[in-house]
Chains A and B, each alone.
Chain A
Amino acid sequence: MTALLTGAAVPVPAAVSSRRRGAALRSMLRNRKAVVGLVLFLIFVIFAAVPHLFTSVTEPNKLAYQPALPPSGEHLLGTTALGQDIWAQLVYGTRQSLVIALVAGFFATVLSALVGISAAYLGGIADEILSMITNIFLIIPTFPLIIILATYAGKGTLTVVLIVLVVTGWSYGANQLRAQALSLRNRDFLESARVRGERSSYIILAEMLPTMTSLIVANFLGAALYSVLTAAGLQFLGLGDPNSISWGTMLYWSQNQQALQSGMPLWSIAPGLCVALLGISFALLNYAFDEISNPALRPVRRRRVRRAA
């Protein structure tokens, strides 16, 4: 098992806990990638929270308009072949995609933290078993599994989609968190907690978890990115709920109606772009987080590194 981890050097951030929260925020704001990611994310949050401010349409799935209209002042992105306003669907669809990303990302992260950290902390046979399970889940190709699960479970409701995303999305993080927790195990501050006679649960929750915050956040962002892309792919294949309002469902219907071939490219390009942008915002934040916790990766500015000839 160890072979899978050799060299996958997980940088241990230097005492994040000692850093003030303000400092962390400031270094976020100084990182251009983080700012772009954050702004993108906030825009989507606003769309998801108050969709009715951006469009006058209240029932975006209702076939209320003339089909296949080109973009105009009335319909910013035109209408679908079925007679829905594309812009309104896009705006209202934000909520579901965002909820999937955040909820599935959150639970997958909780699961990976639980498994990864307890494996590292418990050690011995428990570690062997837990890492074995993690590695098996890591290797089994998840997307075919998701497709099959969603098929058997009937057309996937939101809950089904969320559950399969969590079940298939936790293993990567668990592996990383275990590696970092292992490197923490013999640190002095944990030793002193043990000598004080603290319970294992206290040591894991109050001593280890805070030290690992930055990796956990990075994992959350990774899991959220995975969930956005996978959920959209699943819905695109028609395995989601075809009546729900989401970008993936829009993509499904546009593919179903041959939008590209019948001269309505906006119908399938626009929701795909939204999926991509939300994914990009998570990926940028994730990468920026990496740079902040591992200064060696930061872009070098102004000064060019001079090398001895």
Chain B
Amino acid sequence: MRYVLRRLGFFVLTLWAALTVNFFIPRFMPGSPLEALRARTKNKVSPAALEQMLTSFGFKPHQPLGAQYLDYLGNMFTGHWGVSIGATLGEPITKIVTQALPWTLGLVGIATVLAFLVGSLIGVVAGWRRGGVLDSVLPSVFVVTSALPYFWVGLLLILVFSIGTGGLLPSDFNYDSNLQPAFTAEFILNVLQHAILPGVTIVITAVGGWVLTMRNNMITTLAEDYIRMGRAKGLSNRKIMYQYAARNAFLPNLSGFAMSLGFVISGAILVEYVFNYPGLGYLLYNAVQNTDYPLMQVLFMLFTVAVLVSVLLCDFATAWLDPRARAKG
């Protein structure tokens, strides 16, 4: 119980730190949202209307900073995220975000978990067959793939599989614009087709790290006494491999998974940009291009929450799988 409370405390603290950074960056950096907005609307909108728009974003230059800060924190928690001041001027941010969120969750979420599971599995096998053909080739291959820039892999795939095949696989958007979203086989097939290249990009670049750490953990675990004990008892290799070694080797990987999610998100932003995939990352890119400050703030908060929630989930999973973590608290 103490463990859970401690982790929750850390969760709240980190979220607060992220929100605070988020609040103070626009206020201490050169360039103000008001100027950006004035330039965007080319002085067509009256200053009063602009002020009002900014007020909804929590930007009240006349109030003391402390009051602004508290207001802002309240608004972020209650979902009063204001309106966009970018290309989609006046659109509520909640609406923009809810449109993009499923696409990112579907594409990036599935690809990331897939890369993690596949990578861990390959790592287990490579670590087990130490000195085999697999183990002599794999580390080098995956060291190389883990160092590839996400966006370059994306560009390469577009070149080979989209342009190279005369448009066999689509290289942008989430589905063909002439289709209506519906639960028909045609639509779902189309969505999957559009997700193949960006999904493969994420898997290729993310899988390497998991293979390497899992292999290394596996090798360390296989040297433990309880593995020898298992052998001496005459357990089958399969049982030793999965239930004795892999289970223990998997634990550090699990906490590493959550920690690395920040890196995955950064890659996903670039992947979505390369493929014009209308998810949150692409949204962030557009927000930056249009100096859409409120949208940027909300997106940054959401990314932080996403990482934090998965860290928390992985922590609890670790505690569930590993009694030692619970005891340490």
Q: Is A276 an interface residue (CB 8 A)?
A: yes
Judge whether A201 is part of the interface by a CB distance below 8 angstroms.
no
Partner of B155, one of A142, A148, A225, A268: A268
| Cα separation A230 to B269 with both chains bound (whole Å) | 12
B259 touches A269 (CB 8 A): no
- Determine the distance from Cα of A299 to Cα of B219 in the docked complex, in whole angstroms: 11
Cα A280 to Cα B141 in complex, Å, equals 10
Instruction: Indicate whether A236 reaches chain B with its CB closer than 8 angstroms.
Output: yes
A3–B231 CB distance below 8 A:
no
B21 A237 Cβ-Cβ under 8 A: no
Interface size for chain B: under 10, 10 to 19, 20 to 34, or 35 or more residues?
35 or more
Report yes or no: B152 in contact with A6, Cβ–Cβ below 8 A: no
Q: Which of B74-82, B128-136, B193-201 faces chain A?
A: B128-136
Interface positions, chain A 174-215, Cβ under 8 Å from B, are none
Question: Contacts A139-B14, A142-B266: A233 and B259 contacting too (C-beta < 8 A)?
Answer: no
CA distance A136 to B307 in the complex (A): 11
Query: B135: which A residues are within 8 A, CB to CB?
Result: 299-300
B147 touches A283 (CB 8 A): yes
Q: A242 to B118: give the CA distance in the assembly, Å.
A: 39
**Segment among A22-30, A46-54, A81-89, A301-309 that sits at the interface with chain B:** A301-309
Interface residues of B in 10-67 (CB under 8 A from A): 10, 13-14, 17-18, 21, 25-26, 29-31
Please judge, given known A-B contacts A149-B25, A237-B285, A280-B144, whether A3 and B252 are in contact too, CB under 8 Å.
Answer: no
> Using Cβ atoms and an 8 Å threshold, which residues of chain A touch B21?
140, 145
In the bound complex, residues from chain A placing their C-beta under 8 Å from that of B319 are 3
- Chain A proximity mask over B114-137: 1 for CB below 8 Å, otherwise 0: 000000000000000011100110
Q: Using Cβ atoms and an 8 Å threshold, which residues of chain B touch A144?
A: 265-266, 269, 284, 299-300, 303
Query: B255 contacts A4, CB within 8 Å?
Result: yes
A147 touching B30, Cβ below 8 Å? no
The stretch of B95-103, B104-112, B173-181, B320-328 in contact with A is B320-328
Which chain A residue lies CB-closest to B32?
A152
A269-B156 in contact (CB<8A): yes
A39 at the interface (CB under 8 A from B): no
Do the beta carbons of B14 and A153 come within 8 Å of each other?
no
Contact of B143 with A by CB under 8 A: yes
Are A8 and B252 in contact, with the CB atoms below 8 A? yes
Distance to closest chain B CB from A103 (angstroms): 19
Q: How many residues of A contact B (CB 8 A)?
A: 64
B132 touches A145 (CB 8 A): no
Q: Is the CB of B259 within 8 A of A139?
A: yes
The residue from B30, B132, B318 contacting A152, defined by CB atoms under 8 A apart: B30
A144 to B267, CA, bound (A): 10
Interface residues of A in 129-181 (CB under 8 A from B): 132, 135-136, 138-145, 147-149, 151-154
Contact yes or no, A272 B149, CB < 8 A? yes
Complex Cα distance, B291 from A152, in Å, reads 9
**Could you say which of B29, B131, B155 contacts A269, with CB atoms under 8 Å apart?**
B155
Q: Give the chain B neighbours of A9 by CB distance below 8 A.
A: 220, 252
Cα distance A230–B147 in the bound complex, in angstroms: 11
Q: B313 interface residue, CB < 8 Å from A?
A: no
Which single member of A135, A151, A260, A290 contacts B14 (CB below 8 Å)?
A: A135
Contact across chains for B143 and A287 when beta carbons are under 8 A apart: yes
Inter-chain contact B136/A135, CB cutoff 8 Å: no
User: CB-CB < 8 A to B132: which residues of A?
Assistant: 304
Asked whether any CB of chain B lies closer than 8 Å to the CB of A229, the reply is: yes
Contact between B219 and A296 (Cβ–Cβ < 8 Å)?
yes
- B130, A145: Cβ atoms closer than 8 Å: no
Per the bound structure, the CA–CA distance linking A168 and B84 in Å amounts to: 27
The chain A residue with its CB closest to the CB of B31 is A152
Distance between A272 CB and nearest chain B CB, rounded to angstroms = 3
Cβ A276 vs Cβ B300 within 8 A? no
> Contact between B147 and A8 (Cβ–Cβ < 8 Å)?
no
Q: Is there an interface contact between B262 and A151, defined as CB atoms closer than 8 Å?
A: no
A282 to chain B, nearest CB (A): 7
Complex Cα distance, B315 from A135, in Å, reads: 14
Whether B242 sits at the interface, judged by CB under 8 Å, is no
Report yes or no: B152 in contact with A276, Cβ–Cβ below 8 A: yes
Contact A33 B140, beta carbon cutoff 8 Å: yes
Given A1-B10, A283-B144, the answer on whether A7 and B296 have CB atoms closer than 8 Å is: no
Interface pair B300/A148, CB less than 8 Å apart:
yes
Which A residues fall within an 8 A CB radius of B? 1-4, 6-9, 33, 132, 135-136, 138-145, 147-149, 151-154, 225, 229-230, 232-233, 236-239, 251, 255, 260-261, 265, 268-269, 272-273, 275-276, 279-280, 282-284, 287, 290, 296-297, 299-301, 303-305, 307-308
Task: Give chain B's interface residues, CB within 8 Å of chain A.
Answer: 3, 7, 10, 13-14, 17-18, 21, 25-26, 29-31, 130-132, 135-136, 139-140, 143-144, 146-152, 155-156, 158-159, 163, 212, 216-217, 219-220, 223, 231, 237, 251-252, 255-256, 259, 261-263, 265-267, 269-270, 273-274, 284-285, 288-289, 291, 296, 299-300, 303-304, 306-308, 311, 315, 318-319, 322, 324-325, 328-329
Supplied contacts A6-B318, A7-B251, 16 more A-B pairs, CB within 8 Å: A3-B319, A6-B324, A6-B328, A139-B304, A140-B14, A140-B304, A142-B262, A144-B303, A233-B149, A239-B288, A251-B151, A265-B159, A283-B143, A297-B216, A303-B131, A305-B130
